[in-house]
Amino acid sequence: MKIGVPKEHVFGECRVACTPEVTKKLVSKGFTVLIEDGAGIGSHYSNAAFEEAGGTIVDRDAAFSADIVVKVRKPDVEEIHLMCEGATGIGFIESCEDDEVHQAIFARNINYLAMEQIPRISRAQPMDALSSQSNIAGYRAVVEAAAHYGRFVPLMMTSAGSAKPARVVILGVGVAGLQAIATARRLGGEVYAYDVRPEVNEQIRSLGAKPIELDIGESGSGEGGYAKELSEEAKQKQQQLLAEELKKAHIIITTALIP
C-alpha cells in the first residue's frame, strides 16, 4: 500500500505530515512512502533524510495518487481531484462549515479522517493533534506578542528608573489559553484570564494568573469540559463587561474557539 506525503502549499505553513523517523517505521511495516519533492524543507527535513529512511521522492501528482494521502492543512478542490476515487485522506479538515471541498470529497468517495475530531480521551492522546498544536500556538502567541509590544513584559528596575510589568489578558482557557498563561507568567507579565466556564478559574489561579469574573447571568460550560455557545443576551452583557477589562490591557491574546 502506498502512502503519499504532499508538500503543504498554504502561505507560511512549514509543517509536514510525515517525518523521516515515521517514514522509516512505515517502510518497515511494508508501506511504500511517497514524499513530494521538498515537502519537508520548511521543517528542516531534506529529501536525502527521507530517502535514507526508505521513502521515495516523487512529484506532486504521484504523492496525491497514493492509496492514503496524509496532509497537515485542509486540501483544496484541486488537490481532492488529484486523489484517486475511494482513497483515504488523513489531516486537518477544518470542518466548521460545509464548502466545496467537502462536497468534492463526498463526490469522489474519499474517506477523510479529520485529526481535529479525535476525542480528547486518554487512549487517544498519542493522536491528539489538536491539543499538541494548540499548545504550541498558545506559547507562540505570547512570544510573538512580546516581540511586537515594544516595551518590557516583566517588572524592570534599573538605575534610570523602573518599568511596570505588562498587563496581559488571555481570552479562552483551553489548551492554548493555559499555555499562553504559563508562558506570559514566565516572562514576568501581570496576567489575567477569562473563560465562559467558571470552573476553570481554579486552573487560572494555579498558574499564577488572576481570573476575570463577570456576572453575565449564565454559565458557558458544555458537555465533556468544552464550552457551549451563550445566549444573545449573555453575549451582549459579556462584551460590555469585558470591554472595560480589555481597556486596561497592554497585550490581549484570544484563544477561544466559537462552538
Angle at 37 between CA 36 and CA 38, to 5 degrees: 110
Give the model's pLDDT for residue 146: 97
Residues of the chain with pLDDT below 70 are 96-98, 224-225, 258-259
254 Cβ contact list (under 8 Å, min separation 6): 171, 172
Q: Given the residues 45, 112, 128, 238, select the one marked as catalytic.
A: 128
User: Which of 10, 15, 19, 58 minimizes the C-alpha distance to 36?
Assistant: 58
Q: Locate the domains of the chain by residue range.
A: 2-117, 129-254
Through-space distance between the first and last CA atoms of the chain, rounded to whole angstroms: 38
240 carries an active-site annotation? no
User: Which of 2, 78, 5, 85 minimizes the C-alpha distance to 39?
Assistant: 5
Q: Given the residues 131, 133, 203, 219, select the one marked as catalytic.
A: 131
Q: Given the residues 103, 117, 125, 231, select the one marked as catalytic.
A: 125
131 carries an active-site annotation? yes
Cα gap 180→173, rounded to integer Å: 9
Cα gap 210→107, rounded to integer Å: 50
Mean pLDDT rounded to a whole number for the chain: 92
125 carries an active-site annotation? yes
Give the model's pLDDT for residue 217: 83
Q: Given the residues 151, 226, 239, 240, select the one marked as catalytic.
A: 226
Give the model's pLDDT for residue 33: 98
Domain spanning 129-254: CATH 3.40.50.720: yes
185 carries an active-site annotation? no
123 carries an active-site annotation? no
Give the model's pLDDT for residue 200: 92
Domain spanning 2-117: CATH 2.60.40.790: no
CB 92 within 8 A of CB 115: yes
69 Cβ contact list (under 8 Å, min separation 6): 3, 4, 5, 6, 63, 75, 83, 87, 88, 89, 90
